[in-house]
Amino acid sequence: MVLEGKSVFGGIAIGRLSIYNKKENQVKREKITDVEAEITRFTDAKETAKEQLKGFYKKAVKEVGEVNAAIFEVHQMMLDDLDYVESITNMIRTQEVNAEFAVASTGDNFSKMFAAMDDDYMKERAADVKDISNRVISILQNAENGSVTGEEPVILLADDLAPSETVQLDKSKVLSFVTRHGSTNSHTAILARTMNIPALIGIDFSEDVNGKMGIVDGYTGTLYIEPDEEIMKKYEAKKAEDENKKRLLLELKGKENVTLDGKKINLYANIGGVADVANALSNDAGGIGLFRSEFLYLESEDYPTEEAQFAAYKTVAENMAGKKVIIRTLDIGADKQVDYFHMEKEENPAMGYRAIRICLDRPEIFKTQLRAIYRASYYGTISIMFPMIISVKEVKRIKEIVAEVKAELTAEGIPFKDCELGIMIETPAAVMISDLLAEEVDFFSIGTNDLTQYTLAIDRQNPKLDSFYDSHHEAILRMLQMVVDNGHKHGCWVGICGELGADTTLTSTFLKMGFDELSVSPAMILRVREEIRNTKVEE
């Protein structure tokens, strides 16, 4: 039997199919007499759930980095959401029902409410509220969650996998995962890609496949169930070829990023926090092309101090031993919400109060971060990059604030180095005025994820639009060329730090366009290097 779906991460997996059975929480409505004791039961279970999620966060940080682990902090915040908590406690108090029933009912109500919203970010919260509600119910019932049983590694099949379930899996027992639902841009998909597990979504499997032999082809999005001998031999050879390619890639360590006809390009790593530096170095990154500084804010319960930020930036600068480190200033908002910023809910957060808009609106937060970065610059080679720019006016204001920070540090006798200043090109507006912007900054780095989303008017988080989302769209490619041309004409070097930079089908195109730098996830550095070294630009 052959089933077709969508690939989340490439690779070949061969093994037994195992259906991940979630422990369903059977909830009955019961009349209670001691209302306050029942509310205390709920509150205790809620706090236990938050402690569990803190544990998942720490585990996920080690496995997939701070940015991808942030979903567990979102879940902790959702558990403390006043509307959610009051709905549960009010139901217990007024209807005199057990905590399990109140949590289940509220979870269902909130999930339906989120699912019915027009905003796609809020729609995705429907699954999250079900996940946290099930967690609280499991604690109230002293129930265990689903897991992988047996010693033999398996291809895991599930209706869908919540991020908390994915991070709890014993990775040594999972060859691949296959789900009926989910989107190619969901949190779980990102976790799968980061963990290098071949994964498929949109596979409509039946329950009777449990225990049968299977093959996952992560390149074509295909699941083979009980393959015949010929198919099995073909994929065993393909798997061996994949493993051989990985070994060959390791031989590329220490080699230059230079084409067959002598064109060089810088190949840097995108990282989500201090813990990711080791991964960048082990994959031979020439520098850090995108250091997402927002992890410091996402993992903190209050605004991170100048000292805390300085310590993190200094550590990265020192560990990179003089190699370039490009720190992107605070980029929260949209799908990265931070409770203590007290931001109002927005109809369309992707186009709302986010990134540089917050920094320019709240300069005290911005200056604290810039002071920390400039202090850290003394210990390495740091560049600073500003996200979501749409005007020259914004850049001029940023440079005024930078000048104020440098003057303060000089007056205080604190040593620092001058830093290159650059901007993210991730809006069509920035593309169209890139000639003007180039006169104000030292470099451009193109955020292709948001640029594609804004140019095509497609929410990349919406699975219904996956077939319309085209990062190779001619409009995007023309924009990339326009930015390179304008940047070079006015003295800027130009790079890509969006996921498109790791798309090896476009590597030769980027070289021909004249890009100076590509910044990709650490795991992709050697693959992109191989493509560069096998390319002849003139051809």
Binding-site residues for Mg(2+), in ranges, read: 426, 450
Q: CA–CA separation, 367 vs 364, rounded Å?
A: 5
Q: CA–CA separation, 205 vs 138, rounded Å?
A: 27
DSSP per residue over 430-456, as a string?
HHHTHHHHHTT-SEEEE-HHHHHHHHH
Q: CA–CA separation, 98 vs 525, rounded Å?
A: 54
Q: CA–CA separation, 294 vs 273, rounded Å?
A: 9
* HEC per residue, 491-523: CCEEEECCHHHHCCCCHHHHHHHCCCEEEECHH
> If you search the block for the tokens 């798309």, which residue do you land on?
503
Q: CA–CA separation, 517 vs 515, rounded Å?
A: 6
Among candidate residues 286, 277, 282, 280, the one with its CA nearest the CA of residue 315:
277
CB half-sphere exposure, 445, CA atoms < 13 A: 31
Residue 281, token pair as written in the block: 């170095």
Of 359, 419, 492, 497, the catalytic one is: 497
Q: Is 381 left (phi over 0), alpha (psi -120 to 50) or beta?
A: beta
Q: CA–CA separation, 176 vs 24, rounded Å?
A: 23
Q: Is 492 a catalytic residue?
A: no
Q: Is 355:388 a contact under the CB 8 Å cutoff?
A: yes
Q: Is 497 a catalytic residue?
A: yes
Q: Is 520:501 a contact under the CB 8 Å cutoff?
A: yes
Residue 532, token pair as written in the block: 């560069």
Query: Distances in Å between the alpha carbon of 442 and those of 115, 291, 395, 418, 432?
Result: 44, 17, 12, 12, 18
Q: Is 386:423 a contact under the CB 8 Å cutoff?
A: yes
Of 187, 359, 419, 492, the catalytic one is: 187
Q: Which residues are known to be catalytic?
A: 187, 497
